Amino acid sequence: MRQLDVRGEICPYPMMRAVEALKKLPTGEDLEVFTDHPPALSTIPWEAAKLGYEANLEESGQAEWKITLRKVAGPAKKPADILKDLNRQLSALAISE
């Protein structure tokens, strides 16, 4: 599992760095992104989904989160399904966009 720490960075840099890391990620590896910038909780998963990754959001500290990005097995999700899953996870973390 690779890790990317973008704490202290604001948009669009966390998303841009995550996408760059995903493009270089070896097949079969996951990427954990650590952020303290709430907008990144939606921009990173959305852009990752375009590359065939799904996201799992977790709180990793006070106002800090871990986004685990994993390659989707099978067909890519539809944009509406990506948004639905993302909104469900953000609601569970009590973060609204």
- What does the angle CA 12 – CA 30 – CA 76 come to, to the nearest 5 degrees? 80
Return d(Cα 36, Cα 8) in angstroms, integer.
Answer: 7
Return d(Cα 97, Cα 95) in angstroms, integer.
Answer: 7
Return d(Cα 32, Cα 84) in angstroms, integer.
Answer: 21
User: Would you call the peptide bond into 12 cis, given omega within 30 degrees of 0 as the criterion?
Assistant: yes
| Active site residue ranges | 11
